[in-house]
């Protein structure tokens, strides 16, 4: 079992480039099943969740070949009757995204219950309701979903929530359906946009990209092609938070600043600022982290919401930054009822946090954090990265266990942070 050993309290400096977007890579890999032709994907991060998805594609019969450190060639011409490997499917939430492509290609699929972060109930009803409306019969068992469709048929969909993966599922099922599909109340995150642009490059006809209403004209087949995914939105924001809590100056290269307008507003409530230089984000050193009260000195809040709101995956990072800011703030995670339980570990490090209920915390800062040499857990990808930020700004030595969770979403994070001057080692 590997762990990170971190000596906190050191300034960082330099430039870092975000990896490819994990939340784009996984649906794009699943979407390669929609065509018989070769697809080449670039800027794919080397992370655990990608390895699991590639393993699932190979188990289904796709020919997968690495083309350099971050490029893959996939040809799904020989996908037969095999079903997704249950053991691999249970490792990642995105395994459920194989349903739409398999139904479009062959009319049936048995999809094991997916895995992923244990951050509370993660409902699949949006996926299943959309597939039913597209003509899929579904049998739900305790361990799997048995899906069958003689023919997918376009329809007018209204999703019951702005689910990212639910929207992606509906898109992939609709592009080869008979007739036209309208998806209303659709998610519109950058990774959903990447999926749409990728499918259009292969010959799909999707309009309304970037909005909450998508129009899809079904086509009979898709061709091959190449596509380069964008930078990881979560990683960019994590690096902004890292610079702020360590009082460091960092340049985040190729960060797509236009995607971080809400990040700027939310982090700005904590006193975090940065400047855009072309496609880079530059965070200055020694920022005065002071929480900005609302009008009439009301206590402000940061709350999660669908795009273009503040992403729920960044709530954990925001909490750590808030511990280093002067003042009081309410942070409200509206989606998942188990995401905030990691704050007990921050409290043990010296943070002044009140866990009001499973969805809300009050943070009073600034607090001097102290290392945890006896060990900190990494309960999920985002909380694991938040614990890493806390350890890097804490005084003293910390050990983080279960770092496979962090590796699922952040590529070689220890090596990359060492280039900035972080005192972090991966040990067994």
β-pairing, 205-207 with 213-217? antiparallel
DSSP lists the bridge partners of residue 184 as 158, 213
DSSP-assigned letters across all residues of 310-364: --GGGHHHHHHHHHTSBEEEEEE--S-TTGGGGHHHHHHTT-EEEEEETTEEEEE
Contacts (Cβ under 8 Å, ≥6 apart) of 397: 5, 6, 7, 8, 371, 373
354/410 Cα distance (integer angstroms): 29
| Residue whose pair of structure tokens reads 């749409």 in the numeric block | 196
Q: Closest Cα to residue 57, out of 44, 306, 164?
A: 44
| Residue whose pair of structure tokens reads 């924001």 in the numeric block | 237
Q: What is the DSSP letter of 268?
A: H
HSE, CB side, 13 Å, CA atoms: give it for residue 191. 26
142/113 Cα distance (integer angstroms): 8
DSSP lists the bridge partners of residue 249 as 13
β-pairing, 144-148 with 108-112? antiparallel
- Out of 49, 85, 117, 380, pick the active-site residue: 117
Residue 270 has a CB neighbour count (10 Å cut-off) of: 29
319/331 Cα distance (integer angstroms): 7
Element (H, E) at 392: helix 381-393
Give how far the C-alpha of residue 332 lies from the chain's centroid of Cα atoms, to the nearest Å: 19
Q: Tell me if residue 117 is catalytic.
A: yes
15/248 Cα distance (integer angstroms): 11
| Residue whose pair of structure tokens reads 């809590």 in the numeric block | 245
Residues acting as catalytic residues: 117
């Amino acid at each position: 079992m590997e762990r990170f050993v971190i000596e906190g309290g050191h300034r960082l400096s330099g430039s870092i480039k975000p990896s490819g977007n994990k939340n784009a890579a996984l649906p794009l890999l699943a979407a390669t099943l929609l065509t018989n032709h070769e697809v080449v994907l670039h800027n794919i991060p080397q992370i655990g969740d990608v390895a699991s998805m590639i393993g699932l594609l190979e188990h289904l019969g796709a020919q997968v070949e690495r083309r350099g450190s971050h490029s893959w060639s996939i040809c799904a011409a020989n996908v037969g009757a095999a079903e997704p490997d249950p053991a691999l499917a249970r490792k990642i939430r995105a395994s459920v995204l194989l349903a739409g492509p398999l139904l479009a290609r062959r009319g049936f699929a048995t999809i094991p219950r997916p895995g992923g972060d244990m951050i509370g109930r993660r409902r699949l009803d949006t996926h299943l309701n959309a597939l039913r409306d597209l003509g899929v019969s579904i049998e739900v068992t305790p361990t799997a979903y048995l899906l069958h469709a003689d023919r997918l048929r376009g329809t007018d969909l209204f999703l019951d929530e702005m689910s990212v993966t639910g929207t992606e599922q509906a898109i992939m099922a609709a592009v080869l359906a008979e007739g036209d599909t309208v998806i209303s109340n659709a998610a519109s995150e950058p990774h959903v946009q990447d999926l749409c642009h990728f499918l259009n490059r292969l010959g799909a006809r999707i309009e309304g990209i970037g909005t909450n209403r998508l129009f899809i004209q079904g086509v009979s087949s898709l061709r091959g092609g190449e596509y380069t995914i964008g930078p990881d939105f979560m990683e960019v924001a994590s690096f902004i938070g890292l610079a702020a809590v360590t009082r460091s100056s960092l340049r985040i290269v190729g960060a797509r600043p236009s995607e971080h307008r809400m990040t700027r507003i939310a982090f700005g409530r904590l006193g975090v600022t940065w400047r855009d230089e072309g496609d880079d984000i530059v965070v200055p050193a020694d920022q005065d982290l002071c929480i900005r009260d609302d009008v009439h000195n009301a206590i402000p809040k940061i709350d999660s919401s669908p795009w273009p709101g503040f992403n729920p995956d960044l709530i954990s990072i925001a909490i750590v930054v808030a511990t280093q800011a002067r003042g009081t703030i309410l942070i409200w995670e509206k989606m998942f009822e188990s995401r905030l339980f990691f704050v007990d570990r921050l409290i043990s490090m010296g943070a002044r946090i009140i866990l009001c209920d499973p969805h809300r915390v009050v943070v009073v800062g600034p607090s001097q954090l102290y290392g945890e040499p006896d060990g900190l857990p990494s309960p999920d990808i985002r909380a694991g990265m938040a614990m890493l930020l806390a350890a890097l700004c804490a005084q003293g030595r910390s050990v983080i266990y279960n770092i496979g969770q962090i590796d699922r979403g952040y590529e070689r994070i220890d090596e990359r942070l060492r280039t900035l001057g972080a005192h972090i080692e991966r040990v067994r």
